[in-house]
Amino acid sequence: MNHSLQVKKDELVLINSSSELAKPLVLALYREVLRAGGHPYMNIGFEEATNIFYKEAGEAQLLHFPKIRHYEAKNMDCVVNIRAPINKKALSSVDPVKMGRRAKVLRPIMDTIVNKKRWVLCNYPTNALAQEADMSLEEYEQFLYGATNIDWNRVRKLTEKLKRLLDKASEIRIVGEDTDLTLSIKGRPAIPCWGERNMPDGEVFLSPVEDSAEGYIYYEHPAIYQGREVTGIRLRFRRGRVVEARAEKGEEFLLSMLSTDRGARYLGEIGIGVNYGIKKFSKDILFDEKIGGTVHLAIGKSYKEAGGRNISAIHWDMIKDLRKGGTLYMDGKPIQKNGRFLI
């Protein structure tokens, strides 16, 4: 409330939770909003309801635009999104085409929040999150605290230094296992992140020039989207567009998402992780994209504040680990080798 959102008197604050498991955190935030002089609103979801929707909704319901939710998004000052899943695989059997079509309908609401409001996203430790990360609940709690209870001023200084370099650069090249990909970033402002939007945080991101991606990339870590896990992804780019896509597992889902709309085959983001408090991959993009020594690239929607122009209903981040044999170049000069910065 104080660091990420800086809630002020008379502001409207929406507290969203994906399940009732986050009740202790929801109530703590509710109390802090009141103490700051704001007006808290709560929206607690039931995970099972999403599954029911996709199984039972007809065509008209699938394409229905929720005007009340849009009104709410437009009128709130701050939004907190708490993820507290009961079952990480709850949507595994849902038709991905349906999910893609629904994402298109809801895009104006997401755009309103992401582009115009102060918001923060965080996890509440649950057994589902711990299990997905191959940890006990207690281990996962400590993992989460280790990623969040860090010196954010130090992270801020590093991200701002990296931003200054990126803002002057024209090209990024990523080299690693089965990877050699070049992107133009000329004229695209880099955004430093140090806990204002995500918690945990720790990255610098920007939207590459849409038609610039040339080369190929292999993602050694699973890429998870809408509850689906895809492993061994290999993408080849030509003139910015994905022209070849393969996966060891989940290839059909990958191809389906790439066919969501025209923008789904272009990159919307490249981000450089700088949070060295995150020690391991956890199959959770909120943490994994921030790991110090990694980069992530997202197919689909770009960010206007980062100069992006790509429009899509999807935004799917995929992690490239550079800590073992990887190098990140900026205008031909290495700025990171084996996950450690040279700047």
Task: Specify the CATH number for the domain of residue 55.
Answer: 3.40.1830.10
Query: What pLDDT is stored for residue 46 in this prediction?
Result: 93
Q: Does residue 254 lie in a domain region?
A: yes
Beta carbons of 267 and 241 less than 8 angstroms apart = no
Query: What pLDDT is stored for residue 212 in this prediction?
Result: 98
pLDDT < 70 positions in the chain = none
Q: Does residue 67 lie in a domain region?
A: yes
Are 44 and 165 within one domain?
no
Query: What pLDDT is stored for residue 88 in this prediction?
Result: 84
Give the Å distances, CA to CA, from 128 to 19, 85, 265, 284.
12, 6, 31, 11
Domain count, the chain: 2
Cα 299 from chain centroid (whole Å) = 11
Q: Does residue 316 lie in a domain region?
A: yes
Are 173 and 118 within one domain?
no
Q: Does residue 184 lie in a domain region?
A: yes
Could you say which of 124, 142, 173 is where a domain stops? 124
Could you say which of 124, 142, 171 is where a domain stops? 124
**Residue-number span of the structural domain to which 165 is assigned:** 152-341
Q: Does residue 143 lie in a domain region?
A: no
Q: Does residue 156 lie in a domain region?
A: yes
Are 82 and 37 within one domain?
yes
Are 186 and 116 within one domain?
no
pTM for the model stands at 0.82
Are 18 and 88 within one domain?
yes
What value does the CA radius of gyration of the chain take, rounded to a whole number of Å? Answer: 20
Query: What pLDDT is stored for residue 78 in this prediction?
Result: 97
Are 119 and 162 within one domain?
no
Q: Which of 43, 30, 98, 114 is nearest to 260 (CA)?
A: 98
Query: What pLDDT is stored for residue 243 in this prediction?
Result: 98
Q: Does residue 3 lie in a domain region?
A: no
Are 262 and 209 within one domain?
yes
Are 84 and 178 within one domain?
no
Q: Does residue 136 lie in a domain region?
A: no
